Chains A and B, each alone.
Chain A
């Protein structure tokens, strides 16, 4: 994968598959580092699953025998002097179950790959899971780009799914305008 935004998409897909109804994606960056956090209220992982998470030959899926999402992300973060941490509470342990994945990347490292089109990633996530309440925040030193699916749904009502092309187009423009206003156009990532 040649864009960090594709890793964001891939890792957040795990939250969707874990049955989460609330998923918060946060990107935070300064001149030196980029932090990426995704937090969900999905089914969570057992301690055993958590231990095997960085093993590429571990996956819960049945269609293939490898699971490369977290190993890829870890490799990329560590190559830039950063790290990945995953904390999780399984639904059998607590009603407050869910998973939090945090990653830190060194932006000035030669192995850092560009963020890429993060807006397309957000749109893709909403298209695939329109019932999930995604919260997206991208925090810069001079301001924050934000999107709340709950707020959109409040206006649209329940009868119009967020996956409707017109709604997705609005979401894309809404985010891109915020990036432009802060002086961080998506095309420059």
Chain B
């Protein structure tokens, strides 16, 4: 059974990691989590990014955050990727599977997955 005491071990393990984290130069992955996003399936998308970034060992460089309604409800779940010195990438109609692909190809590989972006979607 999990106990609060186990958190102490997590704390010790993470103390160094958190202290070296900087906010400059980070990549931010922002998931829309308003009613429209949640209804369209944003919860598993968010969790796929949180777990995928952690498993890839990128937690020091990449921050996964939530936001409210972005204003394009028909394209939810919407995910925006902000990177230093690059234009924002907006992914639409995301799924957990697509999130894994975005981590692999875009976040790790540096190349946005254009077919999932808003630019590739029929308006």
Interface size class of A (residues with CB under 8 A): 35 or more
CB of B123 within 8 Å of the partner chain: no
B7 touches A170 (CB 8 A): yes
Verify A173–B2 contact, CB threshold 8 A.
Answer: yes
Rounded to whole angstroms, the CA-CA distance of A72 and B59 in the bound complex is 36
Q: Once the chains bind, are A124 and B69 in contact (CB under 8 Å)?
A: no
Q: Give the residues in chain A near B73, CB-CB below 8 Å.
A: 64
Neighbouring B residues of A61 by C-beta, 8 Å: 34, 68-69
Nearest chain-A residue to B54 (Cβ)?
Answer: A165
Tell which of A123, A127, A152, A160 touches B18, judged by Cβ atoms closer than 8 Å: A160
The size of the chain B interface, using a CB distance under 8 A, is 37
Q: How far is the CB of A68 from chain B (nearest CB, A)?
A: 5
User: Which stretch, B39-47, B80-88, B97-105, B107-115, touches the partner chain A?
Assistant: B39-47
Among residues of B, the one whose C-beta sits closest to the C-beta of A166 is B10
Whether B70 contacts A63 by the Cβ 8 Å rule is: yes
Complexed CA–CA distance, A1 and B68 (Å): 17
Could you tell me the distance in whole angstroms from the C-beta of A122 to the nearest C-beta in chain B?
Answer: 11
Q: Is the CB of A124 within 8 A of B18?
A: no
**Distance in angstroms between the alpha carbons of A173 and B4 in the assembled complex:** 12
- Kindly list chain B residues whose C-beta atoms are within 8 Å of the C-beta of A121: 43
Chain B residues near A (Cβ < 8 Å):
1-2, 4-8, 10-11, 13-15, 18-19, 33-36, 38-39, 43-44, 46-47, 50-51, 53-54, 59, 64-66, 68-71, 73
Residues of A within 8 A of B (CB): 1, 6, 9-10, 13, 17, 61, 63-64, 67-69, 72, 120-121, 123-124, 127-128, 151-152, 155-157, 159-161, 164-170, 173-174, 177, 181
28 A–B contacts, CB within 8 A, in A order: A1-B38, A6-B39, A9-B38, A10-B39, A17-B68, A63-B68, A63-B69, A64-B69, A68-B35, A68-B36, A69-B35, A72-B39, A124-B47, A124-B66, A127-B46, A128-B33, A155-B4, A156-B10, A160-B18, A164-B18, A166-B10, A166-B54, A168-B50, A169-B54, A173-B2, A174-B2, A177-B1, A177-B2
Closest 5 CB pairs of A and B: A165-B54, A63-B71, A128-B66, A174-B2, A155-B7
